[in-house]
Chains A and B, each alone.
Chain A
């Protein structure tokens, strides 16, 4: 029983990270119909930036994170400009175009920071909590809280602000939104900047949990994408549920099937997608047939 709950705790902590990555995927997709396979590489960039500000510039972790999110969001604007021609293309082209872009980002990361990577010490030195024999890391709680706050802020932004509702409108109907005078281009740019910011948040948060190296974003990207699909591509609650589900699924697969965990995770994922092709919450997107 203890193993069971401890496995869930472990899965949820990484699941929160997957959820943040999935949120970025979904936000960009629902607003501009772009499946951005370079998103994982943006996570790597964010992780490097956050760790650089934290370790080299000696900023406090929270400030380092905020700065990293800001810088990555700006980078996101640049990326959006470059990828703009790919928006609303057919999936194959988008796939390969964004993968190509990811390869470029990967090379840039290696050029700037080198290939060897770095460890980031945990900014929360407190000892893990012990609850009925379960051990919960304080940093995990911080991650969960930040992920929850980020999600709430995002939802509030989308539903309560003028800019946010405009983006919702673009997500629902591209042409109608243009017709009522919403600047679709700007809306896309903001979506992308927020998506990149979320990636930086995920990368920055995961840094102290893992190890920052050029390969960091790769797995997070694939799992995050799977999470977004599982929850319903483009859906905000879907991204959260999908992220946590993939995290927990992964964790259990690792516990029961050891080395074969990846095989099991993806087989289960495939079966779920075949049973419910548009994910738990259904797809939300600008392209409709």
Chain B
């Protein structure tokens, strides 16, 4: 590890030195292009944070850029404020705009968000074209040169250093965000917003944060632009430039900020080189975009890992390093919890859920006391998963109430339920595919609020310390579940049974009081099912109440203390496994579904 760190530090140093000395070899034209490129790089990092890391389609980045530039221009020329004061206000104004643009993201995503943000960007250009204060179509000229004691920033060579330093800080902050808790949570949300919410990530706040970051970077870019060009006009913030920016981010690799920067530099240089052949340049640049999307969807940033993989494959490595799943180490037994005692932890009262014409749940009531392992069984389509989705806040019930830990939690958003101590797994596995196994666990371990992210600005060291602590605890979890060997791998590369275990480990890492398992044994072999049973029992013994949906009757009969049977959206029986198995209604329901009789108990 250490030599590699040294090596990359050395590389970084050389790069920094190279960038520092760059102006000495450049003509005034080249330095101007370099300055413009840095502005675009800052914008690209912001867009990368929002779109690549946060998964929020943002076609309004160019409007953020515009707000920053225009605010600086207006404040310096009309209000006569100094450049730096104007700049600070401009960035604040852009951040406010960012939050405003983010509000649609709370309701819509994907292409809907795309057209909405694009529309808002058009609305911005339209506004500045008309508004008297923004100078109309002619724009605002004569923006004063930013002043800095001892440095003449009207020289583009010296302005380069100002930009370079701000850019370096911006990039470093971006990377810091990506590599610590906030960025991890944003990436989790990008991969699977539903699962992220169920793990306690406050999705609405996260989406706002993504746009906030994008807008702040846009504002900084705008300020730098205003100081560099000292003229703003609506055309600079056109849709064409938005698409250019987007192309930079995609070509560079949207999930990597360094890739975004590489894309910005590369694309701008190519366009600049081909400036004498505009139509061919246009054609070439369009084709490159298509080719990248088709053949290298991870962009330039995705190339080195792919090459490394290819080399590794050629050398025949990879085969030998098939990691082994280790045994689960049971938790120390803490069970002094008396069964069937005290208030119910979860009580569901008269829940009905209607989908258009279909009544998926019909007046379902049940209550689960603390410390119990409860099984929910029933034929396919009987409403089991719907019930879980209602309980965990994914669905809003048509009627009825859910009480959890003494509070009415009906229709609370999933992340709040997660914070209250409810945790769940999903029938068809919802692991974060672009995160490693360790990161999947880390997302669950992080119980902080996204709102507290302001500490990134004032107490970065505390963030680092907390992250180190989280990593230590993640390693403990991985170790307990025997997953240490897979820590750095993407979940998709693991066998199915191992993925199931990762999902359970992740759900337990939330430190829930109630654990909802949706078909945890699906796809597992006999041995894995047996281990699963032990695992669930050990988890319960730490004081966690468990409710599981399962088709594997052997597991249900063995593990569950009580069973609730659903059929056609109604509770048809509830009781101990033996009692339920003997209920005529249950047998009938299962025969009707031509399923195996639940009495077929094997272990």
Do A and B contact each other directly (Cβ–Cβ < 8 Å)? yes
Interface residues, chain A, CB within 8 Å of chain B? 35, 82, 85-86, 89, 91-97, 99-108, 110-111, 218, 222, 225-226, 229, 233, 259-263, 265-267, 269-270, 273-274, 277-278, 289
Q: Let me know if B115 and A100 touch, CB within 8 A.
A: no
Whether the Cβ atoms of B294 and A86 lie closer than 8 Å is yes
With A96-B289, A267-B120 already in contact, 12 other A-B pairs whose C-beta atoms are closer than 8 Å? A86-B293, A95-B246, A96-B246, A100-B247, A100-B289, A106-B282, A110-B282, A111-B283, A262-B123, A270-B104, A273-B104, A289-B194
Q: How far is the CA of A105 from the CA of B290 in the complex (A)?
A: 12
A267-B282 contact given A95-B114, A96-B289, A104-B287, CB 8 Å threshold: no
| A35→B111 contact, CB < 8 A | yes
Q: Given contacts A99-B289, A100-B287, A108-B283, is CB(A273)–CB(B108) below 8 Å?
A: yes
- Scoring A102, A218, A260, A270 by chain B CB atoms within 10 A of each residue's CB, the highest score goes to A270
A101 contacts B122, CB within 8 Å? no
Other-chain residue from A104, A107, A229 in contact with B111 (beta carbon distance below 8 A): A229
- A interface footprint on B280-297 (CB within 8 Å = 1, 0 otherwise): 101101111110011001
State in angstroms the CA–CA spacing of A111 and B285 once bound together: 15
Using CB atoms, name the residue of chain B closest to A100.
B289
Quick check: A92 and B57 within 8 Å, CB to CB? yes
Q: Are B290 and A225 in contact (CB under 8 A)?
A: no
Chain B hits for A94, CB < 8 A: 293
B110 contacts A by Cβ under 8 Å: yes
25 contacts between A and B (CB under 8 A): A35-B114, A89-B297, A91-B110, A91-B114, A96-B250, A96-B293, A97-B289, A97-B293, A100-B247, A100-B285, A100-B293, A101-B290, A102-B286, A103-B285, A107-B283, A110-B282, A111-B283, A218-B239, A229-B112, A233-B111, A259-B129, A269-B116, A273-B107, A273-B108, A274-B104
In the complex, how many angstroms separate the beta carbon of B44 from the nearest chain A beta carbon?
13
Q: Min CB distance, A159 to chain B, in Å?
A: 22
Binding site for A on B (CB under 8 A): 51, 57, 103-104, 107-108, 110-112, 114-116, 118-120, 122-123, 126-127, 129-130, 194, 239, 243, 246-247, 250, 254, 279-280, 282-283, 285-290, 293-294, 297
**B119→A269 contact, CB < 8 A:** yes
Q: Specify which chain B residues have a CB less than 8 angstroms from the CB of A260 in the assembled complex.
A: 126-127, 130
Pairwise interchain contact A266-B119, C-beta atoms closer than 8 A: yes
Do A277 and B114 have beta carbons less than 8 Å apart? no
* CB-based contact A111/B120 at 8 Å: no
Question: Which chain A residue shows the least CB distance to B56?
Answer: A92
Known interface pairs A97-B293, A103-B286, A108-B283. Does A259 touch B130 (Cβ–Cβ under 8 Å)? yes
With a CB–CB cut-off of 8 A, which chain B residues contact A278? 112
Given contacts A104-B283, A262-B123, A269-B119, whether A82 and B114 have CB atoms under 8 Å apart is no
Alpha-carbon distance between A218 and B246 when the two chains are bound, in angstroms: 17
- Known interface pairs A96-B293, A107-B286; A270-B127 also in contact (CB < 8 Å): no
B343 to chain A, nearest CB (A): 36
A183 → chain B closest CB, angstroms: 22
A interface, by DSSP: helix, strand, loop or mixed?
helix
B280: shortest Cβ distance to chain A, in Å?
8
Closest Cβ of chain B to A152, distance in Å, is 27
A86 and B294 CA atoms in complex are apart in Å by 7
Q: A89-B297, A260-B127, A277-B108 are in contact. Are A100 and B288 (CB under 8 A)?
A: yes
* Residues of B with C-beta under 8 A to A97: 289-290, 293-294
Q: List the A side residues contacting B280 at CB < 8 Å.
A: 107
Whether A92 lies near B279 (C-beta < 8 A) is no
Nearest chain B CB to A185 CB, angstrom units: 17
Complex Cα gap A218–B242 (Å): 14
Q: How far is the CA of A265 from the CA of B129 in the complex (A)?
A: 15
- Docked CA distance A262–B122 (Å): 7
Query: 5 shortest A-B CB distances, which residue pairs?
Result: A100-B289, A103-B286, A266-B119, A97-B293, A104-B286
* B239 partner residues in chain A, CB cutoff 8 A: 218, 222
A118 to chain B, nearest CB (A): 18
Chain A residues lying within 8 Å of B51, measured Cβ to Cβ, are 92
Q: Which of A35, A222, A289 contacts B118 (CB 8 A)?
A: A222
Contact A225 to B115, CB < 8 A, known contacts A99-B289, A266-B120: yes
B133 to nearest A CB, angstroms?
Answer: 14
Shortest A61–chain B CB gap in Å is: 30
Residues in B with CB closer than 8 Å to A266 are 119-120, 122-123, 126
In this complex, what residue of A is CB-closest to B295? A85
When chains A and B are docked, how far (Å) is the Cα of A85 from the Cα of B297? 11
Q: Nearest residue in A to B113 (C-beta to C-beta)? A: A91
Do A82 and B110 touch across chains, with their CB atoms under 8 A apart?
A: no
**Bound Cα distance A266, B120 (Å):** 6
Partner of A107, one of B250, B282, B293: B282
Who on chain B is nearest to A97 by CB? Answer: B293
A35 to B112, CA, bound (A): 11
Q: What's the Cα separation between A142 and B288 when bound, in Å?
A: 41
Instruction: Tell me the complex Cα distance, A262–B63, Å.
Output: 15
Q: Are A92 and B254 interface neighbours, CB within 8 A?
A: yes
CA distance A273 to B118 in the complex (A): 13
Nearest-Cβ distance from residue A223 to partner chain B, whole angstroms: 10
On whether A100 and B254 interact (CB within 8 A), knowing A225-B115, A267-B123, A273-B104, the answer reads no
What's the Cα separation between A34 and B104 when bound, in Å? 22
Whole-angstrom distance from the CB of A64 to the nearest CB of chain B? 27
B252 CB, min distance to chain A CBs, angstroms: 12
Find chain B residues with CB under 8 A from A225 CB.
Answer: 115
Q: How far is the CA of A277 from the CA of B111 in the complex (A)?
A: 11
A226 vs B59: C-alpha distance when bound (angstroms): 14
Measured between alpha carbons, how far is A92 from B107 in the docked complex, in Å?
Answer: 18
Interfacial chain B residues near A261, Cβ < 8 Å: 126
